[in-house]
Amino acid sequence: MIMFWATLLAVSILLYVLLDGFDLGVGILFGMTGSETRRSAMLAAVAPNWDGNETWLVVTAVILWGAFPVAYAGLLPAFYLPLLVMLAGLILRGVAFEYRNKTERMRWIWDLSFAGGSFAAAFIQGLTVGALVEGLPWANGHYAGGDFGWFTPYAALCGIGLCLGYALLGASWLVKKCDGDVREAAYRLLPYLSAGLLIFLIVVFIYSLSEHLEVMDMWFERPYLFVFPMIGAMAAVLLAFSVRYRWDEVPYLMVTVIFLCAFGTLALSFWPYMIPFVLTIEESAAPQSSLAFMFWGEGLFVFPLMLFYTAISYSVFRGKVRSAPRNY
């Protein structure tokens, strides 16, 4: 039961990162272009799906609460201020979808909140992961770092890294969904973003080695983990080819594979901890009666159904969104 929910938690986080990752990434890229034609095409590429994508964040939060209440109660207050910033970002970018089309004069407010909110949310998510990898200040069974105990240069670096990663996902999504100008611009960005991400990964790796992060021990104990970077590297090569030869469908897939590898590496190097080195998955799990109640209903039946809705909604909106000149 515990394993089932740990797996589902991992799947939900992964789906969140892959799906909301591209629309947050599009949000970040949105801030880097000034043209209204491009902007509206970029929004169009994510508008029908962003809400469903963000649902996976809530799914993650409630699985954590329902199945691992000790981890939920331990982690959330630890990241009090970062989560506040993330929620503020998600709110502002969420309403921007509805609001920006209702105004001409004040559109800049919502454009700013869409780009800024996307960036803030992505940065905080990366920062959180970084802080967890580095290890949170912990005493007597709870967080003991004060208001800013989560902030370290390493965590901030991971925040920037995830922004790059999401921007990469976003660019590869635009290549897949858009035409013309937007597609070209995204293709031009892809090499820079990939190079940026690669540099980030190298820096993180060196830093982790030099700081003797405990996570690194996990790596040397479990050498099979190196499979992931290998697969990731192959995906990166294919990504380069697909950019070179303009295979529109391929970049998003390859970036997905790279994310999968990064995620697999992280998940397995956290194992068996929920909060690294202070709380294991077993220790944080809810009583059997809670896990079973969740399993027999939502786990067994509703979860597949949710995947099915998600698939329906993506299949209804498959294909390219064209950035035609606006007729006014």
Using CB under 8 A as the binding rule, whether residue 180 contacts another protein is answered as no
Which three-class secondary structure state does DSSP give residue 226?
helix
Q: Which helix (H) or strand (E) holds 126?
A: helix 107-134
Using CB under 8 A as the binding rule, whether residue 214 contacts another protein is answered as no
By CB under 8 A, name the one of 63, 254, 258, 274 that touches another protein: 63
| DSSP symbols for 81-121 | HHHHHHHHHHHHHHHHHHHGGG-STTHHHHHHHHHHHHHHH
By CB under 8 A, name the one of 97, 151, 207, 263 that touches another protein: 97
Binding-site string for another protein from residue 159 to residue 178, where x marks contact by CB under 8 A and - marks none: ------------------x-
Using CB under 8 A as the binding rule, whether residue 209 contacts another protein is answered as no
Stretch that binds another protein, among 49-57, 122-130, 243-251, 258-266 (CB under 8 A): 49-57
Contact 107, 100 (CB under 8 A): yes
Residue whose CB is less far from another protein, 8 or 266: 8
Using CB under 8 A as the binding rule, whether residue 327 contacts another protein is answered as yes
Using CB under 8 A as the binding rule, whether residue 124 contacts another protein is answered as no
Sequence-ordered list of residues with C-beta below 8 angstroms from that of 278, at least 6 positions apart, any chain: 135, 136, 138
Using CB under 8 A as the binding rule, whether residue 29 contacts another protein is answered as no
Using CB under 8 A as the binding rule, whether residue 70 contacts another protein is answered as yes
Kindly state the tokens that stand for 221: 């104990």
What's the min distance (Å) between Cβ of 124 and another protein?
12
Residue whose CB is less far from another protein, 59 or 169: 59
Using CB under 8 A as the binding rule, whether residue 293 contacts another protein is answered as yes
How many whole angstroms separate alpha carbon 236 and alpha carbon 191?
Answer: 10
Using CB under 8 A as the binding rule, whether residue 34 contacts another protein is answered as no
Q: Which of these, 18, 46, 28, 5, lies nearest to 285 by C-alpha position?
A: 5
Using CB under 8 A as the binding rule, whether residue 298 contacts another protein is answered as yes
The count of residues interacting with another protein (CB under 8 A) is 80
CB-facing half-sphere around the CA of 162: CA atoms within 13 A: 24
Q: Which of these, 206, 166, 210, lies nearest to 189 by C-alpha position?
A: 166
What's the min distance (Å) between Cβ of 237 and another protein?
31
